[in-house]
Chains A and B, each alone.
Chain A
Amino acid sequence: NAGVMQNPRHLVRRRGQEARLRCSPMKGHSHVYWYRQLPEEGLKFMVYLQKENIIDESGMPKERFSAEFPKEGPSILRIQQVVRGDSAAYFCASSPPGQGVYGYTFGSGTRLTVV
């Protein structure tokens, strides 16, 4: 019974490259949330998705960042033209429908380093 799976665990990108972060939710969970954790800062909400729908992207930077959760396959967080300030740990979480208010199951995260 796998938990939330994120890959890669570590990702190094040069400035200007694209970063793609993947998240497979727990079995039976159809809601996915992406959070970013910067050093010495708390987890910050980025986006909430259901299958084929972006429900809330109020925490997502307007430029260079996008997210999707297709009908088949994992959720993808995409960062175009990365800059040093994008270096952070990116966490995906999932919940069953209607259960997100009780807390999430998080993945182990992807640590993005921009050099």
Chain B
Amino acid sequence: TQLLEQSPQFLSIQEGENLTVYCNSSSVFSSLQWYRQEPGEGPVLLVTVVTGGEVKKLKRLTFQFGDARKDSSLHITAAQPGDTGLYLCAGPTTGNQFYFGTGTSLTVIP
């Protein structure tokens, strides 16, 4: 089983602060996805990174795929309360399924 470990598990910060969350594996993935899940809702796809070393930006969110394609990071600049949620990384396994990490629960305090 390809294991995706996410850290930190919980993060509580003040509005306006910056933060980085991590997704690490000992296995190589062909791509990694990041999702955000709000309470009572399903995960929403934020980005897919495919190429080692790739950096993608989505407004205040910056996603990076490690050179060896074993890890990824998500950096949020000037966090806002609307960023609160569970951030999940996921990678495709052999076949047609994704392996999901257990997530980072982010709370942004106004």
Contact = CB atoms under 8 A, between A and B. Distances in A.
Interface of A: 4, 6, 31, 33, 35, 40-45, 48, 55-56, 58-59, 91, 93, 100-109, 111
Given A41-B102, A101-B31, A58 B95 contact: yes
Contacts of B88: 42-43
A23 B35 CA distance: 20
Contact of A48 (B30, B44, B96): B96
Residue from the set B30, B41, B43, B100 with the largest chain A CB neighbour count within 10 Å: B43
Interface of B: 30-31, 33, 35, 40-45, 48, 88, 90, 92-93, 95-103
10 contacts: A33-B97, A44-B100, A48-B95, A48-B96, A56-B96, A91-B43, A101-B92, A103-B35, A109-B40, A111-B40
Nearest to B96: A48
Nearest to A41: B102
Contacts of B103: 42
Nearest to A35: B100
Given A101-B31, A102-B31, A108-B40, A43 B45 contact: no
Residue from the set B92, B100, B102 with the largest chain A CB neighbour count within 10 Å: B100
Contacts of A42: 88, 100-103
A62 to B, nearest CB: 17
Contact of B45 (A44, A48, A104): A104
A55 B95 CA distance: 9
A80 B88 CA distance: 30
B40 A56 contact: no
